[in-house]
């Protein structure tokens, strides 16, 4: 038996927060202008958008994915942490999406369809090196299936064969 080793570890990009950061910065600028005209009283309102930006930053920063030779580990949570994992032999399909803004920034999103009950659809959003990770994942899924002697079988249900 081989020992489990880490192959890749990463977090989503902060580009996911772009549409959170832009309105928050506009709000901060507006509150700053209002603070100038209200002798600084409005500046107290800066707390809300700054805390909002910080929270969104931490939520993305605290989400990590680790691919090992046997499983994919998912860690989420800023205050309370949640750890889940998917055995690699349970991965059925991997879809990679790269909208234009992700291609420009060198990011990709991987969507894994699995036979795991707690994570039937797992999304790894906005990561660097998505093409390479997809290939690494595919290779190790096959290795784990061969090692465990597991094969994936899909059954299609059709209404014609069901007595009724």
Provide the edge-to-edge strand list for the sheet that holds 82-87.
Answer: 6-10, 64-68, 71-76, 82-87
Question: Rounded mean pLDDT of 68-77?
Answer: 97
CB 110 within 8 A of CB 134: yes
**Per-residue model confidence as pLDDT tens digits over 91-124:** 999 999 999 999 999 999 999 999 999 999 999 9
Burial-class residue 49 by CB neighbours within 10 Å (0-12, 13-18, 19+). Answer: buried
Q: Is 80 exceeded by the pLDDT of residue 159?
A: no
Exposed e or buried b for every residue in 66-90, given b needs 16+ CB within 10 A?
A: ebbebbbbbbeeeeeeeeebbbbbb
**Per-residue model confidence as pLDDT tens digits over 27-59:** 999 988 888 888 777 778 889 999 999 999 999
Among 113, 125, 121, which residue's Cα sits nearest to residue 76?
125
Mean pLDDT of the chain: 91
Which CATH fold topology does 6-148 show? Answer: PH-domain like (2.30.29)
**Per-residue model confidence as pLDDT tens digits over 78-88:** 999 999 999 99
pLDDT in the model for residue 160 = 60
**Distance separating alpha carbons of residues 12 and 108, to the nearest angstrom:** 9
Residue 134: which pLDDT band, with cuts at 50, 70 and 90? very high
Residue 13: which pLDDT band, with cuts at 50, 70 and 90? very high
């Amino acid at each position: 038996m081989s020992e489990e080793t880490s192959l890749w570890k990463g977090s989503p990009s902060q580009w996911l927060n772009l549409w959170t950061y832009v309105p928050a910065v506009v709000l901060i600028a507006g509150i700053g202008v209002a603070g100038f005209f209200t002798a600084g009283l409005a500046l107290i309102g800066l707390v809300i958008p700054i805390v909002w930006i910080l929270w969104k930053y931490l939520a993305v920063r605290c989400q990590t994915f680790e691919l090992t030779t046997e499983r994919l580990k998912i860690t989420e949570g800023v205050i309370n942490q949640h750890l889940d994992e998917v055995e690699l032999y349970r991965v059925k399909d991997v879809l990679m999406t790269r909208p234009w803004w992700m291609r420009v920034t060198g990011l990709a999103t991987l969507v894994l369809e699995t036979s795991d009950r707690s994570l039937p659809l797992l999304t790894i959003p906005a990561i660097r090196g998505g093409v390479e990770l997809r290939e690494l994942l595919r290779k190790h899924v096959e290795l784990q299936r061969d090692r465990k002697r597991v094969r994936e079988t899909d059954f299609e249900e059709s209404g014609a064969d069901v007595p009724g």
